[in-house]
Structure 1
Amino acid sequence: MALFSSPPQSICILRLSAIGDACNAIAAVQAIARQWPETKLTWIAGVAEARLLSPLLPNVEVIAFDKKAGWRGMRDVWRVLNGRRFDALLHMQTAIRASALSLGIKARYRLGFDATRVSDLQQWFTNIKVPSPDSLHVLDGFMAFVETLGVNPAPANWTLTLPEQDMIWANSVIGESPTLIVAPAASKAFKNWTAEGYAAVIEHASQRGFNVILAGGPGKTEIELGKAIERLLNTDVSNLIGQTSLLQMMALEKKAALVIAPDSGPAHLANAVGTPVIGLYAHHNPARTGPYFWRDYVVSVYEQAIADETGKTPAQLAWRTRVKDNTAMNRIPSEAVISTFDRLIEEKELQP
């Protein structure tokens, strides 16, 4: 039964991280805004996530929580919310830090995950358990939150306008030629594919007439992987790893013909702006965390890796079960990624 038959006055969304999950949550938040445009929406997010969300969602109040500041960071958020009470809190993050932060958020209804998806004792901080959907995907779980509120069920959708200066910059970088963005690194190194694999795919894409740009964050792992890929190449690429903001990355991906990335923020950023994505997966079930509209083009060795590790199929395991072998991404053959690349550009008519 829906909690609201008429628009509530205010809703608070608590989803701190990560970038990919924040991108997925945008679709749920925008579903609320479309049905109840008069409802005041407040989103508490991590610092990097807030920096991305604020310009993308101008009608949503975004409050940044600095987890590195510890209790002081929590008190800063509580100070902003002092004296406010929400009709509902969407507690969309199970981490104990998020639940501790939620103690300072006053709300009549406190929605959290049900027994299928809950973890880290989140159930003790909520009073409405959102039924898990049949779909495994994280986004469909988020959409279940808003449907529990009373938002009419509808396909997930993103309506995003990127800042003009970022789009102008992306246009100057990409120009008119069809471009492949390779965002090779995730925040966790074990999710990364091999430099040799990426190099083979880039050489193939170049032969098919695509310009290639390497992109990613400023971390040491990202930068080193980008350089390792460059050393293996016989073709020219533009290496922008560590040289873009999240909004610039998003603008590049919006302008690009397609993106290749592991289970990482850039894969979901591309999905949110409607650009085809080839996701590379080994550690997490792509049915749960794959780029939402492009799961048919995921190259995954998850099922085989999890079977080798546990002797079970994904359906026999808990929703969050991941492959623990830190070398699992090495199982992905470059031939499989090249084949998927060719299939995608032919099916979506992306050929130069």
Structure 2
Amino acid sequence: MLRLSALGDVCNLVPTIRVLQRLWPDARITWIIGKGEHSLLAGLSGVEFIVYDKATGLAGMREVWRQLGDTRFDVLLHMQQALRASVLSLGLKADLRIGYDKARAKDWQHWFTHRQLTPHPRAHVLDSFLDFARLLGGAERVDAEPLRWDLAIPDTAYQEAARVTGDAPYIVISPCANPRLRNFRNWSAEGYAAVISHAWQEHGLRTVMTGGGSTQEQEMGARIRALCAEEAVIDAIGATSLKGLLAMLDRARMVIAPDSGPVHMANALRTPTLGLYATTNPERAAPYCWRDFVVDRYPDAVRRYLHKSPEAITWGARVRHPDAMSLIHADDVIAQFDALLNAAPSASSRPEPDHET
């Protein structure tokens, strides 16, 4: 299978692998994946990874082709709608190449495949990945299987997380999405501070802030800290590995974040997850197991900034307006926070997580 990025998407792909493994236990599964994504999923049982670092360009593709030069696959699942991935696929030997149907394919992906998925309008990303298994094994068989992730989290990752969080119960807030051009998914520092204060004052829960080491994320963390009581928040932005972050999310009472990798990582661990959505459609990209607890202002953003009804736009269209996330109010998030906290068990009383150490 070929899927290089991104962190949230590769987490949403894992249930498809688990279904394929249960339906065809003797099948050999090779996953061509991005470098950062591999560091998150390394150790996934029953999967051989071939890592491609997009920074290496064509030279990196040639290295992948060299590694797989003696391998001919029965089926190539082309699960990345990007020209870079399609070019990479040209050097792979496969009897059958399966890709998205024309409505979901991007960058002319259907030109690089032999067979396309059955159309599935208005599908969640996770269901779009499962459509590959449905094509191979039949919808009834696939849909009868439970969703499983079984991510690999080593003991060293839990130790890394514990050095940051301590032993007291906590929630995690990952305030920033990937800092890309016109990626207006971030909520306000003031809003996050209000939620952090509520968690501390009303529930005695400290907040651990996580994220990467970009200037944008560091600055956001500093603004949030300045608005909160010192004892209410632990700033761990840029301070953990991806495996350490997984361990931290696994032990959290709740995770709060915009549409970004951490909501899907937490979802994969069955940690209660509160997603903040206004610029992307949660029906397509919400944390799958926690869709009922999303704060959803996407329809409002579509009407206000795209001047259309949600039914009139392309499925998955983004609202690329810097003010869209301001439609989310602190009271909205706090209300969902309390509802989710009351509905979900604590980390100490949750069933054993479906991951491997």
Given that 1:278 and 1:299 are in contact with CA atoms closer than 8 Å, whether structure 2 keeps it comes out as yes
Taking the aligned partners of 1:102 and 1:330, their CA distance within structure 2 comes to 41
> Per-residue deviation at 1:172?
4.6
Q: Distance in 1 between matches of 2:195 and 2:229?
A: 12
Confirm or deny that 1:60 pairs with 2:47: yes
Partner residue in 1 for 2:207? 212
CA contact (8 A) 1:174 1:256 kept: no
Name 1:317's counterpart in structure 2: 313
TM-score with structure 1 setting the length? 0.92
Gaps of at least 5 residues in structure 2 are: 349-357
Cα deviation, 1:44-66, whole Å, max 9, x if unaligned, reads 111101122222x1421111111
Is the partner of 1:191 in helix, strand or coil? coil
* 1:234 lines up with 2:238 in the alignment: no
> Which residue is equivalent to 1:84?
71
Equivalent residue, structure 1, for 2:4? 16
Q: 1:85 to 1:351 in 2, by over 3 A?
A: closer
The Cα RMSD (Å) is 1.7
Q: Is the 8 A contact 2:164 2:236 kept in 1?
A: no
Worse overlay, 248-257 or 226-235: 226-235
Instruction: Say if 2:81 is the partner of 1:74.
Output: no
Q: Is 1:165 equivalent to 2:130 in the alignment?
A: no
Which residue among 117, 125, 138 is the counterpart of 1:130? 117
Q: Partner of 2:252 in structure 1?
A: 256
SS in 2 for 1:70: helix
The equivalent residue for 1:33 is 21
In the alignment, does 2:96 pair up with 1:109? yes
Deviations 1:304-345 (A, max 9, x none): 111223333333322231102122112211110011001111
Q: Following TM superposition, by how much is the alpha carbon of 1:156 offset from its aligned partner in structure 2, in angstroms?
A: 2.6
Per the TM alignment, residue 14 of structure 1 is displaced from its structure 2 partner at its CA by 0.6
Residue 191 (structure 2) pairs with residue 197 (structure 1): yes
**1:132, 1:158 → 2: CA distance?**
25
Question: Cα deviation per residue 1:26-60 (whole Å; 9 max; x = unaligned)?
Answer: 111121112222111110111101122222x1421
Work out whether residues 66 and 73 of structure 1, in 8 Å CA contact, stay in contact via their aligned partners in 2.
yes
Q: Offset of 1:175 from its aligned partner?
A: 4.3
Give me the whole-angstrom Cα distance separating, in 2, the residues matched to 1:314 and 1:113. Answer: 24
Q: Secondary structure at the match of 1:238?
A: strand
Q: Which residue of 2 aligns with 1:8?
A: none
Q: 3-state DSSP class of the match of 1:257?
A: coil
| Deviation (angstroms), 1:131 | 1.6
- The AA in structure 1 aligned to 2:154 is P
Distance in 2 separating the partners of 1:171 and 1:35: 37
Please identify, of 127-136 and 69-78, the stretch whose mean Cα deviation from structure 2 is larger: 127-136
Q: Runs of 4+ in structure 1 displaced over 4 angstroms?
A: 349-352
